């Protein structure tokens, strides 16, 4: 199905697309890994009103999603899909890819995540009022970090998660399916060369990712019922386009 050169080009494409859009370089995230919030800073953030904290987090999430959209655009073949299918894939995949990327910004040793320049414990997000969502996000990162994925592997896992040919509403499913298969093949090839094939059976299941994304949509709905005008007027257009 693919020649050796095609495999090589595809591999470079996926890896570059990730590297060029990853927002924070792995080295920089590593350097800051032990910079955590002081108890005073934690307390002040925990006491913020719910709507303010939501707005702040949603803005950061939207920034990160802009990079994810850029990743998608750079994947060879994505821009050749029809615009409807591009949107279908991003609506379903943006949050899943954010979760995968979150694991790069997660310190496994003390369960903290990079937030506004430092590493934050789960309790910092208390005022959002969605403990179950945040704790499942943290749990997910904890288990993904345990696999110690390289940046190359992360790039492929993201591409395969995004190009899900099983999604409803796809108009040109065969195109997405062909793209998915090619990337899958290139991924296998990389893993063979690095003797890491075993991770294929250990990667998180699609259901796990989509259930966390579903929970995010449910929490957003609850928030919108409580603060309809905040969600409408202050959330960024891209966030609303994807999730509302």
* Min CB(178)–ligand MHQ separation in Å: 29
Binding of residue 54 to ligand MHQ (CB under 6 A): yes
* Min CB(82)–ligand MHQ separation in Å: 28
Residue with tokens 């998915």: 180
By CB under 6 A, which span of 31-39, 80-88, 97-105, 170-178 interacts with ligand MHQ?
Answer: 97-105
Binding of residue 141 to ligand MHQ (CB under 6 A): no
Binding of residue 134 to ligand MHQ (CB under 6 A): yes
Closer Cβ to ligand MHQ, 113 or 155, answer by number = 113
β partners of residue 112 = 107, 121
Closer Cβ to ligand MHQ, 54 or 156, answer by number = 54
The two tokens of residue 47 are 């006491």
Is the distance from CB of 158 to CB of 97 less than 8 angstroms? yes
Residue from 7, 50, 64, 238 that binds ligand MHQ (CB under 6 A)? Answer: 64
* Min CB(193)–ligand MHQ separation in Å: 27
Closest C-alpha to 113, from 139, 138, 146, 148 = 138
Binding of residue 18 to ligand MHQ (CB under 6 A): no
Span 142-201, contacts to ligand MHQ by CB under 6 A: none
Is the distance from CB of 123 to CB of 42 less than 8 angstroms? yes
Binding of residue 97 to ligand MHQ (CB under 6 A): no
Is the distance from CB of 156 to CB of 14 less than 8 angstroms? yes
Closer Cβ to ligand MHQ, 61 or 89, answer by number = 61
Task: Report the distance separating Cα 73 and Cα 81, nearest Å.
Answer: 10
Closer Cβ to ligand MHQ, 61 or 163, answer by number = 61
H-state helical runs in the chain = 4-20, 26-31, 39-46, 50-74, 83-102, 131-145, 151-162, 173-194, 199-202, 206-226, 228-234, 237-243
Residue 205 half-sphere exposure, CB side, CA atoms within 13 Å? 3
By CB under 6 A, which span of 32-40, 79-87, 108-116, 203-211 interacts with ligand MHQ?
Answer: 108-116
List residues near ligand MHQ by CB under 6 A: 23-24, 54, 57-58, 60-61, 64, 98, 101-102, 105, 113-115, 125, 128, 134, 137, 216
């Amino acid at each position: 199905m693919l020649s050796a050169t095609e495999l090589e080009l595809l591999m470079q494409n996926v890896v570059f697309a990730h590297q060029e859009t990853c927002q924070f370089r792995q080295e920089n995230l590593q350097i800051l890994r032990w910079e955590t919030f002081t108890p005073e800073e934690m307390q002040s953030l925990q006491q913020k009103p719910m709507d303010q904290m939501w707005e702040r987090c949603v803005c950061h999430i939207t920034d990160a999603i802009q990079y994810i959209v850029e990743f998608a655009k750079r994947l060879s073949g994505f821009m050749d899909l029809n615009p409807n299918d591009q949107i279908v894939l991003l609506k379903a995949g943006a949050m899943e890819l954010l979760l995968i990327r979150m694991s790069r910004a997660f310190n496994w040793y003390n369960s903290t995540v990079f937030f506004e320049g430092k590493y934050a414990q789960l309790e910092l997000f208390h005022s959002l009022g969605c403990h179950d969502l945040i704790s499942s996000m943290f749990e997910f990162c904890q288990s993904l970090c345990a696999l110690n994925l390289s940046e190359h592997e992360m790039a492929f896992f993201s591409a395969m998660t995004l190009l899900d040919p099983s999604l409803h509403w796809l108009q040109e499913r065969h195109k997405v399916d062909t793209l998915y298969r090619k990337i899958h093949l290139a991924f296998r090839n990389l893993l063979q060369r690095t003797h890491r094939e075993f991770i294929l059976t250990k990667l998180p299941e699609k259901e796990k990712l989509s259930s966390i994304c579903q929970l995010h949509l449910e929490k957003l709905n609850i928030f919108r019922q409580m603060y309809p005008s905040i969600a409408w007027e202050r959330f960024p257009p891209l966030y609303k386009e994807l999730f509302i």
